[in-house]
């Protein structure tokens, strides 16, 4: 199935029977991205139905949810458009400056939804979208998202990562029925948010590469068409960097489309493999650390962008070394579970139970598993080196792109101490059940050396 030449709307609400063996579906009714598209809202609302299938009536209320910053960008305009379409509106505006998606805010939104509320329109980016997605899923009503910044790839997602009891957990929910990305609004986003969105996108080169490598080493399911769909949209964003720096509407449209397409690719395969690899494992760890320390931390996409710079550089160094399989096998056999467990407790703190439970399912460092993977790596070294060379070519200029956009490339902006950052790089691979670059570095007994060189480069 060639997805590359389809419009974004042609990819949704339709089941594709693919040669990979899966049926691909992304259940989003409408996606409008471009200059001035917010004005299409009244026409879209006229086609909207309620949860019982009946059309929205003038008796129904549309609840508009924003925070005080995102309301300023589009709140009054959305309110006027919904009213013009003949529906009642009610507003809920979070009076908080820097908010995370926390379960207590989901409760706040749910309390605003009553019997007359037929639809929620979320106005914002990551946080407001995640909160409204889960609140409306729980209340069984539809929601739209009006994007205010091209900062992350969660617009089309069907899951909400929420902070509950200081831990970030991912909850299943539903996709929005409508996504609106008006480039006139997106152009008002601060530099750091646009750079973050670009960081989340350029990291997909690594994510797709991880997927290809895991297919070789672990015979993991892989869909070449979904991978190509993602790669093509990432390439468009890379070409659009000069335009993004000038907030050119066409460039912003490519970035927003790419962020939405990433979510569609995830829906297509049913898990986040096409959009998330080792760069995201580092990012999740950084975000989790900030929450533990009671800090806001940096934006998700900023974490992904910085991590992409580091993994790209680690891959570059890996290519320059001969891979010593005898040493890798000795290292695999020397794994000591008790020592690993005590390190995990030290490094992950409050999240260590979850990491240890996950290990009970995946056994990623157990010698037999690592030795089996080493065999596969040795057998396929040429093909794997070829993939790595390709991804290094794709990502080597990431620091330059991020700097052009006003983004962050230095881990010091995320973690103050080199020792803490070393822990994060060494252990991030144990956070998720997914084979990716950092685990392959471990398998080859190169992880410690590559991490050392990063720490030396940035912290000494």
Binding site for Zn ion (CB under 5 A): 18, 20, 153, 200, 223
Shorter beta-carbon distance to Zn ion: residue 153 or 445: 153
Q: CA of 219: how far to CAs of 64, 236, 373, in Å?
A: 46, 30, 11
Residue 250 dihedral angles phi and psi, to the nearest 5°: -65, -40
CB of 291 to Zn ion, least distance (A): 16
> What 8-state DSSP symbol labels residue 102?
B
What is the per-residue burial (b if ≥16 Cβ within 10 Å, else e) of 305-341?
Answer: bbbbbbbbbbbbebeeeebeeeebbebbeeeeeeeee
CB of 301 to Zn ion, least distance (A): 6
Shorter beta-carbon distance to Zn ion: residue 284 or 429: 284
Q: How far apart are CA 259 and CA 197, in angstroms?
A: 7
Shorter beta-carbon distance to Zn ion: residue 20 or 454: 20
CB of 67 to Zn ion, least distance (A): 21
Secondary structure class of 147 (helix, strand, coil): strand
Shorter beta-carbon distance to Zn ion: residue 20 or 444: 20
SS3 content of the chain, % helix, strand, coil (to 5): 60, 10, 30
Which residues make beta-bridge pairs with 143?
A: 120
CB of 442 to Zn ion, least distance (A): 23
CB of 18 to Zn ion, least distance (A): 3
Shorter beta-carbon distance to Zn ion: residue 22 or 35: 22
> What 8-state DSSP symbol labels residue 67?
E
CB of 14 to Zn ion, least distance (A): 14
Q: Are 291 and 224 in contact (CB under 8 A)?
A: no
CB of 82 to Zn ion, least distance (A): 30
**Structure tokens that stand for 125 in this block:** 């980016």
Shorter beta-carbon distance to Zn ion: residue 117 or 289: 289
Shorter beta-carbon distance to Zn ion: residue 148 or 365: 148
Cβ contacts of 279 within 8 Å, gap of 6 or more? 203, 206, 207, 304, 307, 308, 311
The DSSP-derived string for 183-199 is: HHHHTTS-HHHHHHHHH
Length of the chain: 460
CB of 268 to Zn ion, least distance (A): 7
CB of 130 to Zn ion, least distance (A): 12
Shorter beta-carbon distance to Zn ion: residue 200 or 446: 200
Orientation of helix 278-292 relative to helix 300-320, angle to 10°: 130
Shorter beta-carbon distance to Zn ion: residue 276 or 364: 276
């Amino acid at each position: 199935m060639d997805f590359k030449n389809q419009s974004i709307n042609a990819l949704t609400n339709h089941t594709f029977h693919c040669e990979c063996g899966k049926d691909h579906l992304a259940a989003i009714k409408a996606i409008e991205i471009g200059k001035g598209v917010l004005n299409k809202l009244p026409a879209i609302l006229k086609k909207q139905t309620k949860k019982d299938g009946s059309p929205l009536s003038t008796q129904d209320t549309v609840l508009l949810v924003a925070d005080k910053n995102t309301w300023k960008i589009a709140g009054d305009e959305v309110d006027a458009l919904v009213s013009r379409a003949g529906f009642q509106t009610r507003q809920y505006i979070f009076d908080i400056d820097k908010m995370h998606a926390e379960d207590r805010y989901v409760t706040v939104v749910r309390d605003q939804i009553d019997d007359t509320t037929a639809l929620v329109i979320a106005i914002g980016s990551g946080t407001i979208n995640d909160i409204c997605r889960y609140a409306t899923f729980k209340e069984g009503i539809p929601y739209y998202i009006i994007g205010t910044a091209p900062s992350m790839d969660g617009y089309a997602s069907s899951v909400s990562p929420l902070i509950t009891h200081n831990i970030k957990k991912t909850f299943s929910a539903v996709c929005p029925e409508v996504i609106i990305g008006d480039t006139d609004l997106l152009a008002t986003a601060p530099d750091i948010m646009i750079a973050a969105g670009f960081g989340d996108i350029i990291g997909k080169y690594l994510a797709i590469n991880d997927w290809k490598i895991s297919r070789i080493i672990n015979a993991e399911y892989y869909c070449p068409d979904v991978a190509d769909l993602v790669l093509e949209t990432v390439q468009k964003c890379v070409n659009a960097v000069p335009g993004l720096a000038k907030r050119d509407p066409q460039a912003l449209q490519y970035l927003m489309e790419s962020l939405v397409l990433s979510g569609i690719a995830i829906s297509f395969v049913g898990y986040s493999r096409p959009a998330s690899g080792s760069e995201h494992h580092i990012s999740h760890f950084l975000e989790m650390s900030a929450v533990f320390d009671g800090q806001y931390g940096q934006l998700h996409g900023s974490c992904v962008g910085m991590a992409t710079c580091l993994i790209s550089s680690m891959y570059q160094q890996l290519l320059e070394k001969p891979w010593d399989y005898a040493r890798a096998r000795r290292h695999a056999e020397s794994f000591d579970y008790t020592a690993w467990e005590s390190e995990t407790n030290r490094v992950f703190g409050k999240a260590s139970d979850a990491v240890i439970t996950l290990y009970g399912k995946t056994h990623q460092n157990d010698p037999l598993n690592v030795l089996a993977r080493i065999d596969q790596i040795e057998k396929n070294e040429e093909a794997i080196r070829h993939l790595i060379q390709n991804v290094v070519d794709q990502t080597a200029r990431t620091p330059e792109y991020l700097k052009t956009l006003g983004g962050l490339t230095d881990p010091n902006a995320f973690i103050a101490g080199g020792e803490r950052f070393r822990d994060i790089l060494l252990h991030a691979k144990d956070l998720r059940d997914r084979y990716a670059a950092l685990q392959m570095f471990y398998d080859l007994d190169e992880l410690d050396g590559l991490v050392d060189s990063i720490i030396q480069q940035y912290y000494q």
